[in-house]
C-alpha cells in the first residue's frame, strides 16, 4: 500500500510517498481502508524528531482517520467489515490502510462526510477529557479557550456553546476573531492587540473564567491564574510558547485554583476507550443534529502531505487540515 514516509527527520524533513506492507489486525483491532486522515500539530513535531510515537505505535504519521472497516481481528464485537468508521490512533494514519483499536473507533456521525469525520477524533477526545473529565466544566459556567481557531479550539468553542456554557476565546487577527464568534464564542479576544486578562475581567464583570483551556504556556501560565474565577480550573494541553516560566502563584491560593496538564496519546487503550464512549454519547448527537459542524480548513491528497504540513506550519488555517486517500 501507499503510505507517507518521513525523510531526513529533523528541522528540514520531507514527506514522501512510499510502498509498505498492509498491516494485519491483531486481537481487538480493526483494519480501516482509509478515506481521509486528519493532520495534527503533533505530526509536525514528530516529523522534526521532537515527539517520538509511544512504544508499539506505528512509525507512520497520523493519529486519526475515517474510512471503511476492511478486516476485524479476533475479539472485535462492535464493528464489522464494511462499516463506515473514524478512529483515534497512536500513529499510522497517513496511509491507504491503518490499524485502530476497536475501543478507540466510532461510527461516522450521521450526516458527516469521511473528510469531516477524519477531523473529529483527536479534537473531540482531547476537548472532552480535558474540559469535562479534568476541569469538570459544568453547563452555565464561563470557559476561556485559547487558540480559538485551532483544530482543538474550533471543536472546544462549539462543544462548550452546545452544552450551554458562556464561551470566551482568543485568536490573532480580525478574521480569526470573527470566526470564533461565528462558532459560538460570546466574546472573542484578539490577543495580538488586546490583553486577554483585562478583556476576560471586563466581559465577565470581574468574575473571571471558571475554566481555561490553554495550549500556549510561557507567560500565559501566570496570566491564566489572573484571568481565572474563584475555584477556577486551568488545563494546559501544550506549551507552544514555552514550558518554562516565572509564575506568581499567589492567585492560586487566593482563588483556590486548580492547575492541570495532560496528554492523550500515551494513555492506555482502556482509558481512551472510556473517553471514546463519552464522545459517542455526548458529542456525536450534537454533530448529527447539526449543532456542531466539523471545521475543515483544507484538504490535500495523501501525496501532498508535505504541502499540508507547510499550511499548518504557516499558521493561516482555521480548523482542521485533512488528507484524502
- Name the closest residue to ligand NAP (Cβ): 150
Nearer residue to ligand NAP within complex by CB, 45 or 110: 45
- In which element (H, E) is residue 16 found? strand 14-19
Alpha helices in the chain (DSSP H): 41-47, 114-118, 121-127, 151-162, 174-183, 196-203, 220-227, 250-255, 269-282, 284-288, 305-314
Nearer residue to ligand NAP within complex by CB, 44 or 252: 44
Phi-psi region of 307 (alpha: psi -120 to 50; beta: other; left: phi over 0): alpha
**What is the separation, in whole angstroms, between the first and last Cα of the chain?**
11
Position 64 contacts ligand NAP (CB under 6 A): no
Position 207 contacts ligand NAP (CB under 6 A): no
Q: Which stretch binds ligand NAP (CB under 6 A): 64-72, 78-86, 142-150, 223-231?
A: 142-150
Interface with ligand NAP (CB under 6 A), residue from 34, 238, 257, 275: 238
Cα distance between residue 290 and residue 24, in whole Å: 36
Interface with ligand NAP (CB under 6 A), residue from 10, 111, 164, 315: 315
Residues 112-141 close enough to bind ligand NAP by CB under 6 A: 122, 126
Position 263 contacts ligand NAP (CB under 6 A): yes
Interface with ligand NAP (CB under 6 A), residue from 34, 36, 42, 287: 42
Q: Which three cell numbers stand for residue 235?
A: 488545563
Q: What is the CA radius of gyration of the chain?
A: 19
On whether the CB atoms of residues 108 and 99 are closer than 8 A, the answer is no
Q: Number of residues in contact with ligand NAP, rule: CB under 6 A?
A: 26
Contact footprint for ligand NAP (CB under 6 A): 40-42, 122, 126, 147, 149-153, 171-172, 176, 191, 215-216, 237-238, 240-241, 262-264, 312, 315
Amino acid at each position: 500500500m501507499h503510505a507517507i514516509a518521513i525523510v531526513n527527520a529533523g528541522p528540514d524533513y520531507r514527506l514522501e510517498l512510499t510502498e509498505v506492507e498492509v498491516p494485519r489486525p491483531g486481537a481487538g483491532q480493526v483494519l480501516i481502508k482509509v478515506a481521509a486522515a486528519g493532520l495534527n500539530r503533533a505530526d509536525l513535531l514528530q516529523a522534526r524528531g521532537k515527539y517520538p510515537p509511544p512504544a508499539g505505535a506505528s512509525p507512520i504519521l497520523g493519529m486519526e482517520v475515517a474510512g471503511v472497516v476492511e478486516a476485524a481481528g479476533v475479539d472485535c464485537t462492535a464493528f464489522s467489515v464494511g462499516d463506515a468508521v473514524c478512529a483515534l490512533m497512536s500513529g499510522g494514519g497517513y496511509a491507504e490502510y491503518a490499524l485502530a483499536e476497536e475501543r478507540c473507533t466510532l461510527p461516522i456521525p450521521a450526516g458527516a462526510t469521511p473528510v469531516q469525520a477524519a477531523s473529529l477524533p483527536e479534537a473531540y477526545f482531547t476537548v472532552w477529557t480535558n474540559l469535562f473529565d479534568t476541569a469538570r466544566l459544568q453547563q452555565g459556567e464561563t470557559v476561556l479557550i485559547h487558540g480559538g481557531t485551532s483544530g482543538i479550539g474550533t471543536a472546544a468553542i462549539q462543544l462548550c456553546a452546545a452544552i450551554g456554557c458562556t464561551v470566551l476565546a482568543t485568536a490573532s487577527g480580525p478574521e480569526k476573531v470573527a470566526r470564533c464568534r461565528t462558532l459560538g464564542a460570546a466574546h472573542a479576544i484578539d490577543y495580538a492587540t488586546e490583553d486577554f486578562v483585562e478583556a476576560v475581567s471586563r466581559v465577565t464583570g470581574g468574575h473571571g473564567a471558571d475554566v481555561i483551556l490553554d495550549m500556549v504556556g510561557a507567560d500565559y501560565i501566570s496570566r491564566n491564574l489572573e484571568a481565572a474565577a474563584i475555584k477556577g480550573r486551568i488545563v494546559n494541553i501544550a506549551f507552544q510558547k514555552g514550558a518554562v516560566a516565572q509564575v506568581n502563584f499567589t492567585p492560586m491560593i487566593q482563588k483556590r485554583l486548580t492547575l492541570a496538564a495532560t496528554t492523550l496519546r500515551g494513555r492506555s487503550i482502556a482509558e481512551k476507550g472510556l473517553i471514546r464512549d463519552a464522545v459517542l454519547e455526548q458529542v456525536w448527537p450534537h454533530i448529527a443534529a447539526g449543532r456542531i459542524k466539523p471545521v475543515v480548513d483544507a484538504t490535500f491528497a495523501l501525496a501532498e502531505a508535505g504541502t499540508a504540513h507547510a499550511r499548518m506550519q504557516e499558521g493561516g488555517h482555521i480548523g482542521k487540515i485533512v488528507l484524502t486517500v
